[in-house]
A = this chain, B = another copy of it.
């Protein structure tokens, strides 16, 4: 429960600051016997890694994951997996000015109010750098889930520009630096982001995640609802301001007839005729694709001087000098995937714990 751990049976604890020697995580409760290597984590870390193009922060980090425990002769042992990622390119001097000034939109003031002390360098603990540890943990979670569960995120909105559902093509995501499934809007975004970046401003984004292959029966009613845990996990990502599942906020405008997904029997069992639920009913997975969206606010680090106060109570101005992402939502996509993987791995283990695993299906005796 303390503040830096999430999950129950599959449990992740992260640690580290932006400009300390390293960041990392401890993954506890992982099933034993899973083949794993550092490369299984690195493929995901590489997708989150900074410095890859002009639309993300220019900080250069190899984000190399070192596994320090919990793995023996290439398989998980069931004991805690400690993962360490060194900080290689911290330029703390960029941040001297903000040691005493509270940057608007950042955690600076709130941390000061709470703790009376903070590691201001690069935002310290509140830096998006922490999300590398989440991505590494997500890599372990994916191994727990296995290849039949496919988790993919896409950026579906940057500033006011949204992707077209008609043009959606998952393959496009690999072809542009925006995790954009719509090649047309990707062009629009490029111009929009260049303008944003050059003006020293920033913009927000919405990320959508799909988890396909999740069997029916994971999650639990009420306080252990799969959507509640997903909401917490996604809202815990830096800069997240909203989370929705399935139809989400748009459900408020639907009628009961439109919203409730009807069912028929398909070849392999029941099928839903639509997916307004986003794959979750009553907090429990239905076997449909799990679909959620996260809204990211615009990066609070901007070049324009902004009014604020300092720790002496003086009214001052502050502009951000350090390297940063103009649109933090873009690199949020792999983090959204990772958090979804962790929530699902935990739900899987807990479901198996309480019930033995598998699901009941209409017309079939016993658990699948």
Q: Does A43 contact B (CB under 8 A)?
A: no
Q: Mark A200-240, 1 if CB is under 8 A from B, else 0.
A: 01111110000000001111111111011111111110101
Q: How far is the CB of A226 from chain B (nearest CB, A)?
A: 9
- Among A230, A278, A359, the one with the most B-chain Cβ atoms within 10 Å of its Cβ is A359
Q: Is there contact, CB below 8 Å, between B236 and A223? A: yes
Identical chains bound together, number: 4
Flag the segment in A7-15, A146-154, A178-186 that touches B: A7-15
Given A105-B281, A249-B249, A261-B105 in contact, is the A11-B5 Cβ separation under 8 Å? yes
Residues in B with CB closer than 8 Å to A4 are 26, 28, 79-80, 221-224
Which one, B17, B196, B235, B261, contacts A231 given CB within 8 A?
B235
Q: Does A304 contact B (CB under 8 A)?
A: yes
Q: Mark A101-144, 1 if CB is under 8 A from B, else 0.
A: 01111111111111111110000111000100000000000000
Flag the segment in A47-55, A163-171, A305-313 that touches B: A305-313
Residues in B with CB closer than 8 Å to A79 are 3-4, 15, 17, 119, 124-125, 221
Residues in B with CB closer than 8 Å to A1 are 1, 8-9, 11, 224
Residues in B with CB closer than 8 Å to A314 are 265, 363
Which one, B2, B105, B302, contacts A11 given CB within 8 A?
B2
Which one, B20, B108, B262, contacts A69 given CB within 8 A?
B20
Interface residues of A in 43-89 (CB under 8 A from B): 66, 68-70, 72, 75-82, 84
Q: Is there contact, CB below 8 Å, between A243 and B235? A: yes
- Among A22, A107, A124, A236, the one with the most B-chain Cβ atoms within 10 Å of its Cβ is A236
Q: How far is the CB of A232 from chain B (nearest CB, A)?
A: 4
